[in-house]
Amino acid sequence: MVPDEDARAQRKKEVKKEPAQHYTIVPGERTSSTVDLQEAEGHARSPKDRRIGRHVFGIPFFRAEAPSVFRRHCAEDCRVGALFTRHSVLRISPSSTRSARYSVDGSRFWAILIGIDVYKHSRLRGCVSDTLLIKRFFTDDLGMPEGRIQCLLGPNNPTPGDPKLTPTPSHANIVDMLYSLVHSPEIDQNDNIIIYYAGHGSIYRCPEHPHAVRCHSGLCPTEALCPLDRDTQDADGKWIPDISDREINTLFKHISLAKGNKITFIADCCYARSFSRQDQDSVRSTHPTSHASLDDMLRAADERWKQSGDPNYRSVLSKDWQPDMSSRVVLAACKDNQSAKEEQGHNGFHGVFTRTLVRVLRSIDYKKGTTYIDLVHLVNQSISQTPVVAGVHKSERLWYTKPR
């Protein structure tokens, strides 16, 4: 065995020996009112597992090169539904709370955490702080090694220093990072993979049917996540679109085929645009892009996937396209007709859903037998929004733990 491989094997043994931390009650949220980008950079570039975290800024983080078609840079060096559905709102009693709290094997976890405040229009204020809160929960409570976590952050007030030390949540970086999970040699079959997103969502409809719930094309409505560089031009002068629910679903399907379906997607965003003007700065939803249409968004994704040569790809342009709901469990901040809001507290701005989710996960209510359905019920008792859970495996124990 060569020295690097020997060191790698030794590190794996050490990680396996580390005792996973128990879930504990914390008296309050340990967050800062000021976004600390340097902290995020330290998390993303931790000396721990440095071998995993060496690739940044448009290059896959988890040591697996995505096909060149998935690697592209955005304009100015990136400075600046079906996704969840069809979900059902579940209101059932949680599992028995008499079970003892438990620990998990944090060394079998991987996470990509995305938080975007600094949009060109309709900026947000709590997404980056939410992402760092989630990150601290994973490391401090779940026992996940910092080298297993990649943060893609778009703060409003970045800390002075080289911005390239931390990858930005551009369209290219988000897609590249997710695709890198498919071929990563570091991730074993049936490891837990958690994707967290806090930022704007948007919804697209066909120009011919702007108000239709459904149309004969099968393309609308199409929900989308909004990257930092949306509505800017790339190096070739093309307008950068949002990331459609169809492309996100395709990515999750390919990750699950390669690594198993122990995937959890947590999304603190929404798609409804029925809120008032005075609420627009606190709601995590925005209008579709001005320059890239629904057709542009889907065709750009279709072209990338076709050029990748992936034999399992099914066109995102298909009229009968359906999401593969067996590939992951989704926890979403609210129902389709509701708004995912952020509020200011004594520790700064946070999303109502994320703040409550972490509080529940750290509370006495969270027990050994808790399922994803139970978790949503517990969160729903505390907030005005109605969180939802989706996926074939939503009745599984949280983090896919097995009875002992």
Structure tokens at 40: 């995020």
The pLDDT value given to residue 78: 31
* Dihedrals phi, psi of 2, to nearest 5 degrees: -75, 160
To the nearest 10°, report the CA torsion of 360, 38, 146, 378. 10
Strands 342-345 and 329-332: unpaired
Burial class (CB in 10 A: 0-12, 13-18, 19+), 202: buried
Residue 33 — φ and ψ, nearest 5°?
-75, -15
- How many of the other CB atoms lie within 10 Å of CB of 214? 11
pTM (two decimals): 0.76
Q: Tokens for 300, please give them.
A: 């750009």
Residue 185 in tokens: 């040699």
**CB-based contacts of 42, cutoff 8 Å, min separation 6:** none
Spans of the chain below 50 pLDDT: 1-3, 8, 11-59, 67-82, 84-101, 162-164, 275-278
Tokens of 288: 């579709």
183 residue type, one letter: H
149, containing H or E segment: strand 149-154
For position 160, what pLDDT does the model report?
59
User: What is the spatial distance between Cα 363 and Cα 333, in angstroms, rounded to a whole number?
Assistant: 19
CATH fold, domain 34-83+104-330, is Rossmann fold (3.40.50)
3-class SS at 114? strand
Which DSSP string do the residues of 310-363 spell out, in sequence order?
-TT---TT-TT----TTS-EEEESS-TTS--BEEEETTEEEEHHHHHHHHHHTS
pLDDT on residue 279: 57
pLDDT at 48: 37
Which H helix or E strand runs over 222?
strand 222-225
Dihedral, CA of residue 374, residue 375, residue 381 and residue 385, to nearest 10:
-120
Sign of CA pseudo-dihedral 378, 395, 85, 128: positive
The identity of residue 234, as a single letter, is D
**Quick one: which of 368, 108, 94 has its CA closest to 262?**
108
Q: Whole-angstrom Cα distance, residue 138 to residue 154?
A: 20
pLDDT computed for residue 210 by the predictor: 56
pLDDT of residue 265: 98
